[in-house]
Amino acid sequence: MSIPNQIDSLFLNQNPNNNLVLIKDLESFKVKDLIPFTQIIKEKIISTTLDYELYFIKLERLTKEMNQIEKENTKLENEILYQTSIYNRLKDLLIHLEIKESHFISLETDSLKSSEGVSRIEKALYALGNFKEGDYKIRVVKEKKERVNESLKGFYKRFIKEINSILLNYNDYDHLCIHKDLYNKLNFLRDIFLNSKKFKDFHAVLCGLYAKQSSLLYSKEMENHLNKLNRILNKEKEKIEEVLEGLLESYKNIIKMEKKFMGSMGIICDEGEGGMEEVVGGIEGKGGLKEGEDVLKEGFTNGLKEGRGVLKEEEPKESTPLQSTSTLTPTPSINYLDPIFIPINKLLLRFFYDIFYLSELRTMNFLEDFTDQSDDLNLFNLLKEDLKVLLGGLKKKFIQKELEIKDKEEGIKRFKEILKESKLKDINGILYNLNRTRILSNGGLIDLFDNRNLISNLFLIYNHQNRKNEFEKDLKEINEKIKKKVIEEVYKNENWKENLKKIIKEIENKGERGEEMKEIYEILKGIEKDEEGLREDIEKGYDDEGENGG
């Protein structure tokens, strides 16, 4: 075994018993015998080192080549991305520019009265409406954009004329109604109308035209309808409550339907959706149609200037229990629905005011009981508020008329007739107090006897138990006045007998009033003093009256 093998065996041998043999063999070995082997190992190490250095040089060269290749790849990738971006933008540009010539022709010539024409126009509007200039600044894009704008502007001028023609040619009726035929005609062009919302100035003009013409149309219909109702009620006043209820219910339904239709057409008709300033601002300074702008402003101005102060001159300067302190002219919400119906509210207020003179109590009874709830209809709620104010003014007029009655008996007779119809608790109470005050006014002895009868009749007519204590107090007060007046008249001078005869004669001249003469005798019998046999003469006179039948 060679020396290297023996050394390996010594360290790797797993049998310890052989180690001693190996050690003895190595002890006899001489180191110089290893030199040839170490020389061979050294040569191998040198050879391996040279190979490594050569490989490292090759590796560095390959690394430089790979870095260069990577740079070239990055450059190529950037170039590809750039070319792809150019391709996509050119593709997008071509798509934008690729608007069929037939679309422009459709907007210029196709009929707005046929289904085929309207369908082609809708497609053309969609195509032109989706054209976007983006950030392209090249001439071809600008030219295309200008042509699209001119085409749209020309079409909407034509469309506005068509809508205006439809509105003007719609005939008004002689009664108030829902405009179904008009809705159907406009609904045929609904998508085009809605598409105009993309172009604020055109849409504002269309909405203004509709609001103005609808206001004129409803005003004519309402005037004719109210005149017809007026003729009916002049002949059949007992139908006032029924007619007024039907009128307001119909009007409420018309507002609901109009609001629903306007909403479906994209016409602003609610608070918070926009206002007059915003709409007009979309026209001014943006090349909008001048005639359309004038129409829009005029439509709003006419509606808003009408106001709702039909009874402004009737408003009381001071607040009383019968008057409302709210104003008749609140500022309405600014939208396209208000200018249509605010003038109608005014017509209705005037109609109620006129009907009041046909039947005062029936009109006021209806207004007192009218409690319709329409929280979603601001215009109808404003009308209800105005009707409340109107009712306050009518009550004031009614009371003023009753104040002009001076005769007590006529006042009670009138009060009795009023109670047969009146449902107005406040009016009834005021008229009771008015008649009571009139009855309790001072007067002569005969007047006091009459007042006592009248106050009793008044209480029986009104028949309110909560007034019983007041009635008993009034009756007691009148009796005390009668007693005091009898004594004053009899003893106003020394000729008491003559005075008594004079009083009796006055009573007799008024008719059969024996009970009142007996009462006078009873009063005089009750006085404490008995000068010159007064008591006997009174008793004698009382007996004589009894024998003569009073």
550: Cβ contacts below 8 Å, ≥ 6 apart: 512, 513, 514, 515, 517, 518
Asked whether the beta carbons of 244 and 320 are under 8 A apart, the reply is no
**Where is pLDDT greater, at 218 or 138?**
218
Q: pLDDT tens for residues 73-100?
A: 999 999 999 888 887 877 776 665 666 7
Percent pLDDT > 90 in the chain is 29
Q: Which residue has the tokens 């001028």?
A: 157
**Amino acid present at 242:** E
Greatest mean pLDDT among 263-267, 320-324, 378-382? 263-267
Query: Coil, strand, or helix at residue 288?
Result: coil
CA nearest neighbour of 525 among 479, 487, 492: 487
What is the pLDDT averaged over residues 211-231?
92
- Domain boundaries, position 61: 27-97
pTM of the model: 0.64
260 assigned to some structural domain: no
DSSP category for residue 178: -
Least confident of 41-45, 299-303, 477-481: 299-303
**Where is pLDDT greater, at 74 or 491?**
74
- DSSP labels, 331-347: PPP-SSSHHHHHHHHHH
What is the pLDDT averaged over residues 35-39?
76
- Measured CA to CA, the distance from residue 241 to residue 249 in angstroms comes to 12
Query: Coil, strand, or helix at residue 125?
Result: helix
Q: Tell me, what's the pLDDT at 290?
A: 35
45 assigned to some structural domain: yes
**Amino acid present at 521:** Y
The pair of three-digit structure tokens given for residue 216, joined into one six-digit string: 């004129």
55 assigned to some structural domain: yes
**Where is pLDDT greater, at 274 or 244?**
244
The pair of three-digit structure tokens given for residue 380, joined into one six-digit string: 């109808």
378 burial (CB, 10 Å; 0-12 / 13-18 / 19+) is: buried
- Phi first, then psi, for residue 419 (nearest 5°) are -65, -25
Q: Tell me, what's the pLDDT at 209?
A: 93
pLDDT band, very low/low/confident/very high, at 40 (cuts 50, 70, 90): confident
50 assigned to some structural domain: yes
The pair of three-digit structure tokens given for residue 315, joined into one six-digit string: 């408003």
- Go through 285-315 and write b for each residue having 16 or more CB atoms within 10 A of its CB, e for each that does not: eeebbeebbebbbebbebbbebebebbeebe
Longest dimension (CA), the chain: 196
What is the pLDDT averaged over residues 449-461?
83
The pair of three-digit structure tokens given for residue 188, joined into one six-digit string: 């045929």
Asked whether the beta carbons of 332 and 381 are under 8 A apart, the reply is no
Q: Tell me, what's the pLDDT at 323?
A: 31
Is residue 464 pLDDT above 80, yes or no?
Answer: no
475 burial (CB, 10 Å; 0-12 / 13-18 / 19+) is: middle
The pair of three-digit structure tokens given for residue 268, joined into one six-digit string: 């602003």
- Phi first, then psi, for residue 442 (nearest 5°) are -65, 155
- Phi first, then psi, for residue 541 (nearest 5°) are -65, -40
Q: Tell me, what's the pLDDT at 8?
A: 64
Is residue 391 pLDDT above 90, yes or no?
Answer: yes
Q: pLDDT tens for residues 186-195?
A: 999 999 999 9
Least confident of 180-184, 233-237, 345-349, 524-528: 524-528
Give the Cα-Cα-Cα angle 206, 210, 216 (nearest 5 degrees): 150
Q: Tell me, what's the pLDDT at 540?
A: 54
165 assigned to some structural domain: no
Q: What is the mean pLDDT of the chain?
A: 76
Q: pLDDT tens for residues 3-35?
A: 666 666 666 665 666 666 666 666 666 566 667
CB neighbours of residue 369 within 10 Å? 11
- Measured CA to CA, the distance from residue 382 to residue 481 in angstroms comes to 53
Q: pLDDT tens for residues 392-444?
A: 999 999 999 999 988 888 988 998 999 888 899 999 999 988 888 888 877 77
- Measured CA to CA, the distance from residue 396 to residue 316 in angstroms comes to 9
**Where is pLDDT greater, at 312 or 246?**
246
Asked whether the beta carbons of 121 and 129 are under 8 A apart, the reply is no
154 assigned to some structural domain: no
Is residue 247 pLDDT above 90, yes or no?
Answer: yes
Q: Tell me, what's the pLDDT at 226?
A: 93
508 assigned to some structural domain: no
46 assigned to some structural domain: yes
Q: Tell me, what's the pLDDT at 392?
A: 93
The tally of CA atoms less than 13 A away on the side-chain side of residue 1 is 12
Q: How many residues does the chain have?
A: 550
Is residue 449 pLDDT above 60, yes or no?
Answer: yes
Alpha helices in 13-129 (DSSP H): 19-27, 35-97, 101-109, 115-129
Percent pLDDT > 70 in the chain is 71
Distance of CA 246 to the CA centre of its chain: 22
From residue 522, alpha-carbon distances to 483, 495, 532, 538 in Å are 10, 19, 18, 9
CA nearest neighbour of 346 among 338, 357, 335: 338
Q: Tell me, what's the pLDDT at 161?
A: 94
Q: Tell me, what's the pLDDT at 514?
A: 63
- Measured CA to CA, the distance from residue 288 to residue 292 in angstroms comes to 8
- Measured CA to CA, the distance from residue 475 to residue 456 in angstroms comes to 8
pLDDT band, very low/low/confident/very high, at 324 (cuts 50, 70, 90): very low
How many domains does the structure of the chain reveal? 1
